Each structure stands twice: as structure tokens, then as C-alpha cells.
Amino acid sequence: MSASREADSAGHRLASGGPAPRVHGDRRGWTRGVLGLALVLPPLLVLAFLVILPAISAVVTTLTPAADAVPAAPLANYAEVLGTRILRTGIVFTVIVTLVAVAAVFCLSYPLALYLRFVRTRMAALLGVLFMVPLFVPVVIASFAMITFLVGHGLVSTVLYHLGIERFPRLVYNATGIVLTEVWVSIPFAVLILGAGLQAIDDALIDSARDVGAGPLRTFLAIILPLNAAPTMITLTLLFIAIFGSFTIPYLVGGNAPQMLGVTMTSYLTQYLRRTESATLAVIAFMIASVVGVVYVASVSRRERAAP
């Protein structure tokens, strides 16, 4: 027993605080395995009940044809939803707004993350605090704040009016408003993930690239970008899924038509009481996001495997 404990602890020391080493064949390892599974079971059950089961339930609901449908085609609900022009327009609108917003967040966040990683000035420290502010503002408040800021007689128009500019495109209650607010809300999240990845890049690598004569652009393209590939993929996919599945921002800041899927889904569910159509839209959203989600899980699991 004590020998096994010692071997065990030596293993732990080698792993230096990493996950417990595999202990095969002895009774203690087996008990620990059962204990481990027992401890992780409760949150897994919650996850199964609140994520997996609803998702399956939604798919089953949408594949079950309505009682009065003759003949009962299994994909009738999907045919009906995709045959409705306004819903088709909504899906396309959602994808386009999401892609534009993801691109905008990314183009703002990557330079910011690079700057915070490589510059140690007071201005950088200030930026490092400033960019985190939206993280602590609930999305409902962020949307409302954005409205008061951008609306016809809001602060932006007032300032522009005093600068002599009276005609400019509408900034809110349309796609522009949605994109601006999504960007506002998403910046901290993107900078944090990208920054965590950049932090993990060894300074020595960058120094040695410079020593062999690589220019900054080359250093970025050849060293930083590939080494930060996994966090970049994670950022892009999480941004896509989060913005694609958003409701609050398009509901409050968006226009009446076309609407993003999140708004349509919710009004079908709570106002028109058409649960099946709503669930069908949800499953369609799952399918579009799952293509992106696969990339996400693959990137994360590659990183988890690489971790010590």
C-alpha cells in the first residue's frame, strides 16, 4: 500500500500538478475511477436534461407531422418553414449579419490583442482595462445604452449636429445597429481568448525569428498566426454561434423586417403560439451552427490534448 502510494506520488510529481496519472489494475485506482464518475455525474445530468434532451426533443417534435396532415410526410414541417419566403429571407439575413459582425469583431480584436500582448506602456494598461468593460454589462442594458447613444436624437446625432453634420445614415433599428451592438458586446470576449493564446507564445520564438532576419510581417505570418491558430478558430466559431443565436440585440436594436432568426423563433413561440414552427427554426439554426460547432470542438480538443 505504502509502496503504491509512493509510486503514485512520484507520478504526480512528474506530472507537476497535471491530471492524475493512469493507475491501472489496482483496487485504489478503480475506486478512484468510480468516485470520479460519481462526482461528475450531477452536473452531467443537468447538462443532459437542459441541453441534450431538449435538442433531441426539438428534433423529434419537428419530425412528427401534425395530426391533420394528409399525407404525413416526415419533413413536412421543414418544407413548410423553408417554403415561407419571409422565413427564408430571415435565415439569409441572419447569416449575413452574423458574418459581417464576426468579421468586424475579429478585425478590431486581433490588433487589440496583439497590442496588449507586445506593448507595456501606460496606454496599453489603460486599454487593457477599457476593453473589458462590456464584459460586465448585461446584454439588455448594452442594447438599451446603444439605442440611447445612436438613436435619431441621441448623443451621436447631437454631437454630429453641433459639428454641422445633419444628414447621415440611420444607425439603429436596422442591420447597422445590430452589428454595432454585437461588436460592442463581443470585443472583450474575443480579445480575452485571442490574448490567452498569444500569451502562450514563447518570447524566445519571436526573438529567434528576428535574429535570423525575419521582418515583423513575416514573424506575424510565420510564427504568431500559426501558433495562435487554435484560439483563432475557437474565437471565430464561438463568435459566429453567439451572434447567430442572439435574441436580445436584434429584438431591441434591430428593425421590423427582415428580422434575425432569434427574434422570429421567439415570436412564433410566445406570440403566435406556433411551437412546431418555432422548434423547426431552432433545429435549422442548430444545423447551420453545428457545421461551425464541429470546428470549435475539434480546435478545443486539439488544445486540450496538447496541454500538459
Partner 1 sequence: MHAAWFVAVAGLRRALGIGALLALAAFILGPLATLLVWAFAGTWLFPNLVPEFSLKWWVYVLSNADVGKAIRMSVLSAPTATLLSALICIPAAYAFARLEFPGRRLLLLSFLSANAFPKIGLYVSIATLFYRLNLMDTFAGVVLIQLVNTLLFMIWIPTGTFRGININLEEAARDVGAGPLRTFFQITLPIALPGLIVAALFAFIAAFDEAQGSLIVGTPNHITMPVLMYALVLSYPQPVGAVFSVLLSLPSVILLLATQRYLRAGYLAAGYSL
Site for partner 1 in 213-242 (CB under 8 A): 215-217, 219-220, 231, 234, 238, 241-242
For 291, half-sphere exposure in the C-beta direction (CA atoms, 13 angstrom radius) is 7
Handedness of CA 6, 7, 10, 15 (dihedral sign): negative
> Which position among 13, 27, 85, 167 is part of the footprint of partner 1 (CB under 8 A)?
13
| Minimum distance from residue 54 beta carbon to partner 1 (Å) | 4
Q: Does 71 bind partner 1 (CB under 8 A)?
A: no
Nearest to partner 1 of 33, 226 (CB atom): 33
* Residue range at the interface with partner 1 (CB under 8 A); choices 64-72, 74-82, 83-91, 125-133: 125-133
* Residue range at the interface with partner 1 (CB under 8 A); choices 68-76, 82-90, 99-107, 155-163: 155-163
Q: Find cell 472583450 and name the residue.
A: 188
Where do the H-state alpha helices sit in 163-274? 175-199, 203-211, 216-219, 225-227, 229-244, 248-253, 261-270
| Minimum distance from residue 53 beta carbon to partner 1 (Å) | 6
Q: Does 44 bind partner 1 (CB under 8 A)?
A: yes
Q: Which of residues 101-120 bind partner 1 (CB under 8 A)?
A: 111-112, 114-115, 118-120
- Binding-site size, partner 1 (CB under 8 A): 129
* 303 within 8 A of 230, measured Cβ to Cβ: yes
Q: Does 63 bind partner 1 (CB under 8 A)?
A: no
DSSP 3-state of 220:
helix
According to DSSP, residue 49 is labeled: I
What track of x and - describes contact with partner 1 for positions 173 through 212 (by CB under 8 A)?
-----------x--x-x--xx-xxx-xx--x--xx--x--
Q: Does 32 bind partner 1 (CB under 8 A)?
A: yes
Nearest to partner 1 of 70, 136 (CB atom): 136
Distance CA 64, CA 280 (A): 11
Distance CA 14, CA 118 (A): 32
What track of x and - describes contact with partner 1 for positions 247 through 266 (by CB under 8 A)?
xx--xx--------xx--xx
Q: How far is CA 161 from CA 165, 170, 257, in A?
A: 5, 14, 29
